Amino acid sequence: MSFSSETKQELCQVIVEKDCCKKAELAAFIHGIGSLRIGRGGSSVYMTTEIPAVARRIFSLCKSCFAVTPEVRTQIRKQLGKKNIYHVVIKPENAQTILLETGLFKETEEGIRINRTVPLFLVRKSCCRHAYMRGAFLATGTLSDPGKSYHMEVNCPEEEYAKSLCALVQKMELPAKVAPRREGFVVYLKDSEAIVEVLGRIGAHKALLEMENVRITKNVKNNANRAANCDTANLEKTMNASTRQVEAIAYIQAKVGLSALPGHLGEMARIRLENPETPLKELGEMVSPPLSKSAVNHRLKKLEEIAQRLQKGGRL
């Protein structure tokens, strides 16, 4: 099962206690996957999903919120790879009340109109905003596998609704954005911390932990890689320096002999020649009296300068 599906399964288990939140979540379902179908007895509300747990959740929200028992119709799809479709249907006798109370319909002076934005009267409290977000994500959301990328989005058929949903997420101080898609628009989050925050608020605690685990593993890996790269770079630098020093000393030896050097430099030259790969600090400990790393470095630099002078035909 994909990370997205797992998260949805978890969210379908979230227990909602307050009526205000139940109504907000149901409203998000109606706005996200609801459609009106006109029949002989009037208009019915259809909420359509491929996820059985989502259908069950909508069913129980209708019951506990409005004491209405919707009908659930299953559309079997036999084509390979196609999932069955579940319709939760609110009959005409209850449709108008529920549509008004969940803010899809609004009463105006000219009669009842369709409201194309998130109904603000349902999301005044933060508990209800979180419930609305949960419904919106369960209705048309997707979440990419954190091992691959960080991306959470909710599909919206209309730009006006997408913008109002985006504003709702931004109200929670999360960096949501709207983008056009081939079919409609999406409200999305790309920031891993923001996604973790949303998962926590809508009640997907298992998904949150899983995502945090991936984030930590990724960080550790990145840091380890960085450290490894850093070690290699340092090693190369050291190796380059010591090769240069050994070459310089060998040149001096061939040209004038190490005994021509002042005593302290001659000693350093011999020690370096015998220990071409030894770090400076350890070289310092081989000299008596011992030298600091920077003193060793200083003497080796001197030897390189002498070699350069000799190469240019100069004297010691």
Q: What are phi and psi of 236, to 5 degrees?
A: -60, -40
Q: Which stretch binds Zn ion (CB under 5 A): 21-29, 197-205, 211-219, 253-261?
A: 21-29
Token pair belonging to 293: 């790393």
Query: Rg of the chain over CA atoms, in angstroms?
Result: 36
Give the shortest CB-165-to-Zn ion separation in angstroms.
17
Q: Which stretch binds Zn ion (CB under 5 A): 19-27, 164-172, 210-218, 239-247?
A: 19-27
Give the shortest CB-98-to-Zn ion separation in angstroms.
18
Q: Identify which of residues 203 and 284 has a Cβ nearer to Zn ion in the complex.
A: 203
Number of residues counted as binding Zn ion (CB under 5 A): 6
Burial class (CB in 10 A: 0-12, 13-18, 19+), 297: middle
- Determine, following the binding rule CB under 5 A, whether residue 28 of this chain makes contact with Zn ion: no
Instruction: Give the helix/strand (H/E) hosting 143.
Output: strand 141-143
Beta-carbon contacts of 130 under 8 Å, excluding residues fewer than 6 positions away, are 21, 201, 202, 203
Question: Of the candidates 4, 6, 9, 20, which one interacts with Zn ion according to CB under 5 A?
Answer: 20
Give the shortest CB-24-to-Zn ion separation in angstroms.
6
Give the shortest CB-127-to-Zn ion separation in angstroms.
3
Token pair belonging to 169: 């997420």
Beta-carbon contacts of 277 under 8 Å, excluding residues fewer than 6 positions away, are 239, 242
SS3 (DSSP) at 239: helix
In whole angstroms, what is the distance from residue 46 CA to residue 154 CA? 19
Give the shortest CB-16-to-Zn ion separation in angstroms.
8
- Determine, following the binding rule CB under 5 A, whether residue 21 of this chain makes contact with Zn ion: yes
Binding mask 121-150 vs Zn ion (x if CB under 5 A, - otherwise)? ----x-xx----------------------
In whole angstroms, what is the distance from residue 121 CA to residue 291 CA? 78
Q: Identify which of residues 48 and 102 has a Cβ nearer to Zn ion in the complex.
A: 102
Token pair belonging to 191: 């920031």
Give the shortest CB-83-to-Zn ion separation in angstroms.
32
- Determine, following the binding rule CB under 5 A, whether residue 286 of this chain makes contact with Zn ion: no
Give the shortest CB-2-to-Zn ion separation in angstroms.
29
In whole angstroms, what is the distance from residue 272 CA to residue 242 CA? 8
Q: Which stretch binds Zn ion (CB under 5 A): 14-22, 114-122, 138-146, 267-275?
A: 14-22
* Binding region for Zn ion (CB under 5 A): 18, 20-21, 125, 127-128
